[in-house]
């Protein structure tokens, strides 16, 4: 049940072929239709009813089905005086194979290939293992010369990717725990650390209940969550440490911590969830692919809230102890809590003193931040690497499409493909080379004139060149092959969207389409950076049209149907029945047609059709005319449509080429007003994803605003927190500039939305502490400075834990704890590098905003409030 479909390539179906000799039919004055009818009537099983014999009812049958070829040969078709004319007198009968529709080879050897597709939602690894077990069991009964192999085995690729992500997950947990141990001490860090496995366990239980299995998106979501899961626990433990440093018993300290920090932790968790909630409603292919990320994060972060407010305080009340026994640390904790800011030492003391100087001129701080925003955005415009849809991941698999235009036989197509195949067989970095040829391989995003395809698997990425270098060598080797168009491309990451640059041309006036497409195609050809250009205009192939003069045909008693039947005897033959031979369980077709010598165009014109007036030549009322072959006709919203498509060369971005084409279409194209031009493929999906993510971002901000106003009962405080969200995008673009990455609409877009939920957490805790101190009578400056002293450690800890959890992804670093290997640039890390970069740099910049800009805006707001009152 896990297998949806199995496509068989290189196989030829059995059938019984009756080859009727037209000259012998004339000798015996027989018509082919008579032979067909007699064979069909003699190949029947007739249930002749039942017979009541008095003692019971007996069914009566007339078994007449063919069981052997000899039975067909001996079938009588005419009695001439005392002689019985049989099928064997006018025809030969043989067991054969249907005309090939294509060939398949594996590394140059003929092969029969089973292409297995699984059902949606089924486990890939389990399905593949089950298929291998069945094949291995059957292979034990095959002859020794038959070799069995497996290729494009996704289970190996998935295992490697899952292994890399699992190692990254372990690395993230270890890095986070090391920081927490260093900052809070062993016992407090152990309490915080409990939140990670506890949240993971509860989150995975939820995923299992809704029917999700572990995949690469779920695993990355867990890596992303590692640093956030401990945020609430850190805040609770750090607050309890302060209370125990003042002398409170541990059970009292943790009770106060869970009570005092409950609202800010709930608010921060809800705002984080608010950022991911809109992503649940992402429509289309991309939404189906990415839906696991918000669901996993919502499940695990909700679990972390329970861990922070219930489990960690409960365990802390039993095992808790002041995290660090260092007198200077305890003194700093007590000084920050008691307001003795002058005695603060170390980094905390430096920060409070520096913050005090900055707050004397808060508008300067705001101006500097705004200047940084302008400079970064300006630099992004002039020095940025552009925009892309999905990240460019090192492929494991590549495809070669052989396009041929014109009328070629199957054998000619396959010979051409074999010539291509021979030139790349000796490339050691290609692990598997699977070639298949056929009449109509152009399906989906594959060009219609594709008549040969080679699928190749690269060897392990750690021991070979980059895939693009290997594919370029293939292009160089095949550059001088005449008469074919060769396209070579690696497998793209993300959902299938076809070639990156696609323009669809539609009109209600079909005659206008081809000139418009020709003009657009010429523009494509003149553009630098495009490759594998194609359009969907009909190719140069021809077809023979037999135009029947109905009036003339009626004089002979013929019609279009009878002409078609006769023509079929020359082409593929006519099915007259079925029979079940001994060597197979399936029924085999019986087809009747003319011998090979009669199956050509010259004989077609000499055919004679049986009529009431005898055999009449087709040429009496049929005209044979060669005409352009009619291809597939495409329509969009009822309008005829053609398309021009192209790939993008290494070093160029599809978005740049699309923008260049938009400018040309708007200013220079000069197309007929009845022509409508739209961009399809990657650009279409990119625009949809961009529109959705913009909506998701503003919906998330709106939900956050409602939560924050409810929490603080202040529009200004809510505004301060959301300002940090907007300003955090500066860090995202700064990170892309530093790392030299393009802006991925999907990955960086998700990163910006996710960042919105993450950066508010520290601001919530900071402003909550400030509001609490103001409520107890402190003036604004003292409250801000004391807030900075008290919140600096948890703010830095929560930031560093989130960043460290994603640092291996940003660096492309993979530490293999099982095989004890360190690798850099694994495909699994390339997938998530842009998203991780967005969050790491955005959060780092937002933390600076939290520690500098937020206090400055609080001072400005207090001064304005004071002026209003006085």
Return the CATH number at 673. 3.30.70.1440
Its pTM stands at 0.79
Check residue 332 and give its pLDDT: 57
Check residue 563 and give its pLDDT: 86
- % of the chain at pLDDT higher than 70: 95
Number of structural domains (the chain) is 4
Check residue 327 and give its pLDDT: 54
| Confidence grade of residue 444 (pLDDT, cut at 50, 70, 90) | low
Q: What is the DSSP string of 838-849?
A: HHHHHHHHHHHI
Residue 324 sits in a domain whose CATH number is 1.20.1640.10
Check residue 475 and give its pLDDT: 93
Check residue 646 and give its pLDDT: 92
For residues 161 and 828, the answer to whether their CB atoms sit within 8 Å is: yes
Residue 417 has pLDDT above 80, yes or no: yes
Residue 869 has pLDDT above 60, yes or no: no
Final residue before a domain boundary, out of 468, 492, 516: 492
Check residue 187 and give its pLDDT: 81
- Based on the fold, state whether residues 313 and 215 are members of the same structural domain: yes
120 inside domain: no
273 inside domain: yes
232 inside domain: yes
- Based on the fold, state whether residues 586 and 710 are members of the same structural domain: no
- Based on the fold, state whether residues 458 and 512 are members of the same structural domain: no
311 inside domain: yes
For residue 643, the Cα-to-chain-centroid distance in whole angstroms is 23
Check residue 286 and give its pLDDT: 78
- Based on the fold, state whether residues 250 and 338 are members of the same structural domain: yes
Check residue 328 and give its pLDDT: 55
- Based on the fold, state whether residues 666 and 692 are members of the same structural domain: no
> 3-class DSSP state for residue 778?
coil
Check residue 518 and give its pLDDT: 92
Residue 588, C-beta contacts closer than 8 angstroms, at least 6 positions apart: 14, 15, 16, 95, 578, 579, 580, 581
Residue 104 sits in a domain whose CATH number is 3.30.70.1430
Instruction: Give the helix ranges, DSSP H, for 62-194.
Output: 69-73, 87-90, 124-139, 154-184, 186-193
What is the extent of the structural domain holding 419?
A: 100-113+395-492
Check residue 219 and give its pLDDT: 81
- Based on the fold, state whether residues 817 and 733 are members of the same structural domain: yes
Check residue 470 and give its pLDDT: 94
Structure tokens at 631: 């291809």
Residue 336 has pLDDT above 60, yes or no: no
Residue 630 has pLDDT above 80, yes or no: no
Residue 602, C-beta contacts closer than 8 angstroms, at least 6 positions apart: none
Check residue 670 and give its pLDDT: 85
Check residue 442 and give its pLDDT: 63
Closest CA to 848 of 764, 727, 698: 727
- Based on the fold, state whether residues 254 and 368 are members of the same structural domain: yes
For residues 579 and 591, the answer to whether their CB atoms sit within 8 Å is: no
For 748-785, what is each residue's pLDDT tens digit? 888 888 888 888 888 888 888 888 888 877 888 888 88
7 inside domain: no
Question: Average pLDDT of 576-583?
Answer: 80
- CA dist 352 and 764 (Å) reads 19
Residue 663 has pLDDT above 80, yes or no: yes
**Higher pLDDT residue, 861 or 519?**
519
For 388-402, what is each residue's pLDDT tens digit? 888 888 888 999 999
**Higher pLDDT residue, 130 or 828?**
130
Check residue 522 and give its pLDDT: 93
- Based on the fold, state whether residues 443 and 399 are members of the same structural domain: yes
| Confidence grade of residue 458 (pLDDT, cut at 50, 70, 90) | very high
Number of H helices, E strands in the chain: 31, 29
- Based on the fold, state whether residues 20 and 166 are members of the same structural domain: no
| Confidence grade of residue 870 (pLDDT, cut at 50, 70, 90) | very low
550 inside domain: no
Question: Average pLDDT of 508-524?
Answer: 92
| Confidence grade of residue 161 (pLDDT, cut at 50, 70, 90) | confident
- CA dist 381 and 377 (Å) reads 6
Check residue 295 and give its pLDDT: 92
- Based on the fold, state whether residues 338 and 305 are members of the same structural domain: yes
Question: Average pLDDT of 823-844?
Answer: 86
481 inside domain: yes
| Confidence grade of residue 335 (pLDDT, cut at 50, 70, 90) | low
Dihedral angle over CA of 66, 68, 70, 76, nearest 10: 0
- CA dist 355 and 349 (Å) reads 10
Question: Average pLDDT of 695-715?
Answer: 88
- CA dist 296 and 161 (Å) reads 18
- Based on the fold, state whether residues 358 and 371 are members of the same structural domain: yes
**Higher pLDDT residue, 216 or 509?**
509
138 inside domain: no
Residue 493 has pLDDT above 90, yes or no: no
| Confidence grade of residue 406 (pLDDT, cut at 50, 70, 90) | confident
- Based on the fold, state whether residues 162 and 268 are members of the same structural domain: yes
Question: Average pLDDT of 668-695?
Answer: 88
Residue 578 sits in a domain whose CATH number is 3.30.2090.10
- % of the chain at pLDDT higher than 90: 15
């Amino acid at each position: 049940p896990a297998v949806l479909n199995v496509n068989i390539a290189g196989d030829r179906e059995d059938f019984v072929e009756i080859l009727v000799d037209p000259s012998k039919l004339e000798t015996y004055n027989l018509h082919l239709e008579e032979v067909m009818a007699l064979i069909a009537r003699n190949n029947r099983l007739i249930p002749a009813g039942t017979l009541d014999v008095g003692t019971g009812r007996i069914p009566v049958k007339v078994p007449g089905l063919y069981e052997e070829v000899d039975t067909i040969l001996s079938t009588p078709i005419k009695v001439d005086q005392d002689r019985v004319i049989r099928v064997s007198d006018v025809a030969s009968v043989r067991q054969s194979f249907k005309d090939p529709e294509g060939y398949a080879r594996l590394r140059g050897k003929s092969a029969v290939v089973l292409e297995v597709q699984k059902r949606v939602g089924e486990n890939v690894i389990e399905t593949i293992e089950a298929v291998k077990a069945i094949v291995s069991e059957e292979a034990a009964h095959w002859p020794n010369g038959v070799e069995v192999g497996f290729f494009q085995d996704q289970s190996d690729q998935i295992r490697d990717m899952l292994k890399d992500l699992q190692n990254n997950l372990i690395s993230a947990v270890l890095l986070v725990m090391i920081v927490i141990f260093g900052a809070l001490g062993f016992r407090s860090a152990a309490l915080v650390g409990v939140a990670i496995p506890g949240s993971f366990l509860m989150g995975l239980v939820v995923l299992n209940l809704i029917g999700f299995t572990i995949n690469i998106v779920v695993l990355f979501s867990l890596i992303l969550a590692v640093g956030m899961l401990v945020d609430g626990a850190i805040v609770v433990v750090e607050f309890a440490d302060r209370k125990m440093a003042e002398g409170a018993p541990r059970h009292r300290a943790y009770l106060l911590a869970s009570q005092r920090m409950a609202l800010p932790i709930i608010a921060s968790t809800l705002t984080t969830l608010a950022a991911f909630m809109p992503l649940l409603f992402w429509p289309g292919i991309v939404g189906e692919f990415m839906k696991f990320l918000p669901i996993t994060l919502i499940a695990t972060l909700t679990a972390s809230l329970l861990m922070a407010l219930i489990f960690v305080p409960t365990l802390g009340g039993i095992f808790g102890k002041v995290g660090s026994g260092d007198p200077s640390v305890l003194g700093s904790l007590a000084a920050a809590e008691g307001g003795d800011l002058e005695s603060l030492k170390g980094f905390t003391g430096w920060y409070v003193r520096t913050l005090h100087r900055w707050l004397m001129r808060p508008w300067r701080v705001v101006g500097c931040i705004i200047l940084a925003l302008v400079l970064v955005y300006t630099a992004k415009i002039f020095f940025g690497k552009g925009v892309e849809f999905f990240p460019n991941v090192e492929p494991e698999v590549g495809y070669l499409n052989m396009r041929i235009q014109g009328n070629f036989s199957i054998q000619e197509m396959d010979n051409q493909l074999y010539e291509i195949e021979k030139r790349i067989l000796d490339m050691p970095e290609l692990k598997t080379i699977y070639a298949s040829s056929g009449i109509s391989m152009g399906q989906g995003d594959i060009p219609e004139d594709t008549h040969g395809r080679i699928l190749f698997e690269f060897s392990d990425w750690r021991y070979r060149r980059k895939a693009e270098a290997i594919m370029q060598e293939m292009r160089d080797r095949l550059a001088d092959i005449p008469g074919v168009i060769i396209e070579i491309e690696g497998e793209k990451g993300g959902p299938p969207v076809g070639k990156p640059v696609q323009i669809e041309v539609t009109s209600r006036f079909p005659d206008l389409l081809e000139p418009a497409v020709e003009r657009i195609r010429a523009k494509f050809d003149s553009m630098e950076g495009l490759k594998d250009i194609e359009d969907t205009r009909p190719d140069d192939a021809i077809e023979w049209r037999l135009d029947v003069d109905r009036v003339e045909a009626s004089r002979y008693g013929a019609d279009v149907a009878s002409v078609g039947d006769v023509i079929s005897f020359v082409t593929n033959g006519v099915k007259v029945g079925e029979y079940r031979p001994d060597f197979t369980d399936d029924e085999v077709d019986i087809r009747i047609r003319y011998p090979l010598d009669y199956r050509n165009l010259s004989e077609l014109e000499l055919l004679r059709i049986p009529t009431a007036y005898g055999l009449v030549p087709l040429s009496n009322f049929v005209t044979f005319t060669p005409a352009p072959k009619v291809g597939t006709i495409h329509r969009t919203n009822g309008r005829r449509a053609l398309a021009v498509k192209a790939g993008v060369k290494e070093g160029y971005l599809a978005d740049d080429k699309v923008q260049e084409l938009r400018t040309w279409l708007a200013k220079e194209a000069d197309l007929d007003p009845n022509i409508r031009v739209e961009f399809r493929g990657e650009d279409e999906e990119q625009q949809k994803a961009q529109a959705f993510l913009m909506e998701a971002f503003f919906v998330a901000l709106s939900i956050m605003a409602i939560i924050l106003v409810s929490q603080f009962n202040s529009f200004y405080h809510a505004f301060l927190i959301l300002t940090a969200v907007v300003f955090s995008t500066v860090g995202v673009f700064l990170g892309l500039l530093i790392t030299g990455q393009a802006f991925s609409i999907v990955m960086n877009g998700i990163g910006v939305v996710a960042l919105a939920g993450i950066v508010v957490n520290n601001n919530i805790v900071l402003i909550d502490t400030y509001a609490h101190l103001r409520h107890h009578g402190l003036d604004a400056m003292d409250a801000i400075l004391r807030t900075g002293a008290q919140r600096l450690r948890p703010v830095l800890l929560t930031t560093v834990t989130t960043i460290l959890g994603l640092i291996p992804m940003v660096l492309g670093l993979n530490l293999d704890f099982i095989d004890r290997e360190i690798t850099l640039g694994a495909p699994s890390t390339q997938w998530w590098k842009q998203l991780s970069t967005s969050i790491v740099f955005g959060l780092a910049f937002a933390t600076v905003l939290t520690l500098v800009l937020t206090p400055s805006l609080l001072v400005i707001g207090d001064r304005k409030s004071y002026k209003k009152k006085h």
